[in-house]
Amino acid sequence: MISEVSKNNHSKIVRITSAKLLSWKKDGTGRLKSTILGYGLMLPSLLIFSVFYYGPAVFLGYIAFFHWTIFSNTSTFVGWKNFEILFNQPIFWKALWNTIYYLIVLVPTTTLLALGLAMLLREAPRIRGGGLSRALIFLPHVTPVVATSIIWVWIFNPSFGLANVILHIFHLPALNWLESTRWALPSVMIYTLWHSIGLYTVLFLAGLATIPRSVLEAARVDGAKGFFALRKVIWPLISPITFFVVVLCSINTIQTFSQIYTLTGGPHGGAGGPAFSTTTDSLLIYQTAFMYLHFSLAAAMSLVLFTITLVIIIIQKILADRFVFYR
């Protein structure tokens, strides 16, 4: 008797359950309801993205073609005038060249060194302390840029810094590092290499881990060894991750700001020195807008940087379609 009642109840519950589920899945109002709910949940993120990212991106186009200052609300349309002024400034071309120089030296160096480090760390689990060295190489990437730049300012000091001590040990001539127009940008590159290479090494390690052991074994049995195995077997297999590393590194490199500002901005003169030798586009945008308050010029410059970034990504995508081997 009792069991019969509970059985009845049970089947009732099942019936109600399936009816409710069906009504939610098929009903037109259910669809509308879920759309409202979906956008409701998305709202905080969408609001932040549109106010602080997409809005300014659209606004950028507006500022760049107007003569506009932040303190007066009058703005007049000037067309390409801002760009004309910009292209006639030698400092603009200097900054552009510095950015490209920084990019074409740092991106290949970073990629190759990161791959080398990843190969070195690859056998990590088999030797004790492998995980530790991976962690130590990655550590600089999580450190705050200004706090660690301070120590690099000391390392690069020409008279008592560590860098010249090391050069001295190898009987090389001392350098003026951050105080010379020739070596200031390479000094920044060394810092950036130290600070960021752990990230790319870890990405390569993840890529290397996806290569099946059997493939490597087969290559070894067939006599592929050392550099040959690296070039003909491993390199093609990790080309997708290499592409990802190159793109990420290019974007991060173009965006470099904090370490240039800190390393070169000591009491020896404003950031970007000496003699504008470390003034890259991102630094010039900052100085034009926030030190000289030429917002329209800075916006025009930003639009140029925006375009350059886009072009670089597109070129890399085209090259990737040709050379990257997707399994």
Partner 1 sequence: MAKYLIYSIRALVAIGFIAPVYWVLVLATGYHGAAYSLPPVWIPLWHWGPLMYVITHTHWLRYLLNTVFITAATIFLVIITSALAGYALAEIPFMGNSMIFYLILGVMMLPQQALIVPQYVTIYHLHMLNSYTALILPFAANTSGIFLFRQFFKKLPSSYRDIARVEGVRTLTYIRRVALPLARPAVATVTLLTFIASWNQFQWPLIMLTNQKLQPIELALSHYLQTYESNWRVLGSAALLALLPIIIMFIFTQRYIIQAVAGGDSGAKE
CB of 55 to partner 1, least distance (A): 6
In angstroms, the CA 136 to CA 209 distance is 19
The nearer residue to partner 1, 21 or 112, going by C-beta atoms, is: 21
Identity of residue 257: F
CB of 1 to partner 1, least distance (A): 28
The nearer residue to partner 1, 48 or 318, going by C-beta atoms, is: 48
The nearer residue to partner 1, 3 or 259, going by C-beta atoms, is: 259
Q: Tell me which residue has tokens 């860098």.
A: 163
CB of 143 to partner 1, least distance (A): 6
In angstroms, the CA 129 to CA 132 distance is 5
11 is written with which tokens? 């089947």
Task: Burial-class residue 298 by CB neighbours within 10 Å (0-12, 13-18, 19+).
Answer: buried
CB burial readout 185-213, b (16+ within 10 A) else e: bbbbbbbbbbbbbbbbbbbbbebbeeeee
Beta strands 75-77; 66-68: pairing state: antiparallel
The nearer residue to partner 1, 2 or 308, going by C-beta atoms, is: 308
CB of 91 to partner 1, least distance (A): 17
Q: Please check whether residue 224 is in contact with residue 232, taking contact to mean a CB–CB distance below 8 angstroms.
A: yes
In angstroms, the CA 163 to CA 172 distance is 11
CB of 252 to partner 1, least distance (A): 10
The nearer residue to partner 1, 3 or 29, going by C-beta atoms, is: 29
**CA-based Rg of the chain, rounded to a whole angstrom?**
28
Identity of residue 126: R
CB of 86 to partner 1, least distance (A): 13
CB of 118 to partner 1, least distance (A): 11
The nearer residue to partner 1, 2 or 125, going by C-beta atoms, is: 125
The nearer residue to partner 1, 277 or 282, going by C-beta atoms, is: 282
- DSSP SS3 for 146: helix
